[in-house]
Amino acid sequence: MQRTGTGTGDGRIVRRDPAFGPGMAGAIIGGVAGGVLGMVALVISLVAYQKQIPDTRPLFISTVEKGLVTRDRDGHSKTRDIARIRTFSFLVRNEGPHPVVVQPELSPDGTAWSPFGELSYAIEPGEEQLFVPQYFLRYARVRFRNQIPGFDSVITVWFQGQS
């Protein structure tokens, strides 16, 4: 191996290794810079992909339909998708001047409806009835009509549920 060196002006000789030239210095600096950029990219990706912690609190849903007019033929409240609801109920209040007949209904697909053994109730003016269906299918609603033909009334339907 041949030694090469340069003088420093103060009588010292600085040894220079021919294997370590200007190209090697650039490679080291590039490697360090690449490593720093790689770490920055890793940190950014970890920040961007933070695992979402699921909210384990029970979901509570509450809706109200006011001013539903009863007729001689069956009417219905809005259809509720209860697939993710563990417990739910309907409260129906007769706000009108005449009695109404009300009954909860369930459906597996939103088109084939049945009370599935749930009783219908006559609700007098100013009274209310709570319904807690005993069976589960994906959809639920309330069916209503006049108790006395020709004597319309007005009802309010509350739906409340939690997961």
Alpha helices in the chain (DSSP H): 22-48
- Looking up residue 109, the CATH number of its domain turns out to be 2.60.120.510
pLDDT digits (tens, 9 = 90+) for 14-46: 565 555 555 555 555 555 556 667 777 666 666
pLDDT digits (tens, 9 = 90+) for 146-161: 999 999 999 999 999 9
Cα–Cα distance for residue pair 95/155, rounded to 1 Å: 5
Q: Are residues 27 and 76 in the same domain?
A: no
Residue bearing the bigger pLDDT, 142 or 5: 142
The per-residue pLDDT for 59 is 86
Cα–Cα distance for residue pair 51/154, rounded to 1 Å: 49
Query: Containing domain of residue 112, as a range?
Result: 60-162
* Cα–chain center distance at 125: 38
Q: Are residues 71 and 136 in the same domain?
A: yes
The angle formed by the CA atoms of residues 152, 158 and 162, to the nearest 5 degrees, is 160
Q: Are residues 77 and 150 in the same domain?
A: yes
Q: Are residues 35 and 76 in the same domain?
A: no
Are residues 144 and 75 in contact, defined by beta-carbon separation less than 8 angstroms? yes
Average pLDDT over residues 56-73: 92
pTM: 0.66
Using 50, 70 and 90 to split pLDDT, how confident is the model at 144? very high
